[in-house]
Structure 1
């Protein structure tokens, strides 16, 4: 049996390229998608029409108050850096509804999201053959993402993601040996407060509105899990696999929620609480609360 290859540090520069940078974009996500008045958006907006809050210089006029103004859906959207990349490739200088750009944008976003997962996978302790498969798929996905608008529009993104899903499933199994598989589980509104979910396979699980306060999700696979409205206050997601910013932003957390190092804490969660170190128990003593 081939021994696992030690984990490598995830390329920080690559992760930065896979984060949305609105300052380098042209408001594509404020023009191209459609959205309907709902709990996520305060108004209707057809596809290809600029949002009424988009300024002439391609900035959001209410960015600092999106949630308060009824646009929480905007705060959880992430193009994974596809916007700024497409703007550079297509030389877009202002918000436009160009059909070619409109067709390419969702494809490139999916490819960038896949690259986010593959970059994470490359940093896990995997057997050499599996690591080679990850590297090969990363190269092929990078090549697709490097195409122009016409080439991107012709990519069957669903097929690419389907093939990648099988590989990432094997990566997950190798990275969390002994973990329970609860893939696609219906856990809507489930009371899982304080639950031990370490290394659980929660890929595609429906955790909408679930009570996960204080739950231990270390090393759990959360690829595609629906965390909308899930209560993650005090939960520990350290080392959780394939978690993304949109998933985190759609959930409810607090200063005590612990996240993987690659993810920023959503502003509406509040500041992170200081990490307390446990005091060693005294010989023969019962120990205090910190030692339990």
Structure 2
């Protein structure tokens, strides 16, 4: 492996070449030099992907947003402050928001309980009546602490992360099994992967980018096509969820009562 300064590819050296970048200009210079040098296999960060998209000079009509289900069901497995601000913003705008308790998201036996079955039905009813619904795994301020429950059970951070994402994926599958017809949204890569595993899906078909870092894809489950919006926890402005709700036509609340839906998409 050869490590090089920004923008200095070398076709005569075999193996993997690693390039350091300290700015967007560095990324652009590296990408351009790699392109003209004939390199065809690259890997990098999200910032490099943005540069690479322009360097590829792809042509063709822009992708079109298909007709989406007018229910937006959001499953949040991200603890990123950016995502939490988006959730708070949407909740203040009137989005129903349900937070999983520590025992619910950490203990596998809860998934088999009557309480879980009752709550899944209630979330389904809320989503169909309101048109929007948030299922959140973040602890509420001043509420029960998942870290304390994890410590009591001897769970380390990795086990906590896996259990929470697994629970969220299973809950989303049960909502689909109950007949939920919605545009789904997953925040956090673990959440998306957990849902795919829960419904035994191994591939997603990309459709288009709805916002910076916010991608629309679809998958087939039980012979039905489902659209899903996904994003990393750190992407998006505070009003992102509200703008996505307006884009999909989700929500039964009056727009004049939802300030964040004004002057948006």
Pair in the same fold by TM > 0.5 = no
Larger proportion of helix: 2
Q: Output the TM-score relative to the length of structure 2.
A: 0.26
Larger proportion of strand: 2
Q: Output the TM-score relative to the length of structure 1.
A: 0.24
